[in-house]
Amino acid sequence: MATTTTPLSLKGRALRLLSAREHSRAELQRRLTQFEEEPGALAKALDELEAKGFINEQRVVESVLNRRSAKLGTARIRQELQAKGLAPEAVLNAVEQLRASEVDRAREVWRKKFGEPPADAAERGKQMRFLASRGFDGDAIRKVVSGGDD
């Protein structure tokens, strides 16, 4: 990086972060607090960015769902959305959206990792623990590992 004589403004730093991926207001607040020189400056900068549409909670939710739903279960995605400081109702709506495809997503993750039914109880446990660590619920895990289609 080239050295510059003027440091980035709070708004400039926020825009740099937003250019890489969607961030929630709470995430930006956490990341940029250390650069705030006068009280209220960060809130003002974030208010301006939000008013102009650069910060959008719905886009953050859609981005996470788009990037993570193929690999993770509903529980892990819920946890990720909550960590971003999103509104509880936005998280709840996203979770409801994912529940319908939980078994199919778990089956696809299982297929990529294992591809064949477990040979014994130890292998079955290993496959179930793997899916659980990815955040899939117990019902979906049992259906996938046992080979049931419903």
- C-alpha span between 40 and 62 (Å, rounded): 29
Q: Dihedrals φ, ψ of 8, to 5°?
A: -65, 145
Q: What is the CATH number of domain 8-55?
A: 1.10.10.10
pLDDT tens-place values along the chain, 150 residues long: 555 556 788 999 999 999 999 999 999 999 999 998 889 999 999 999 999 999 999 999 999 999 999 999 999 999 999 999 999 999 999 999 999 999 999 999 999 999 999 999 999 999 999 999 999 999 999 999 988 654
CATH of domain 102-146: 1.10.10.10
Q: What is the pTM of this model?
A: 0.83
Tokens matching residue 58: 């719905």
- How far apart CA 102 and CA 141 sit, in angstroms, is 9
**The predicted structure's pLDDT at residue 150:** 42
Closest CA to 108 of 69, 138, 79, 78: 69
- pLDDT value for 7: 73
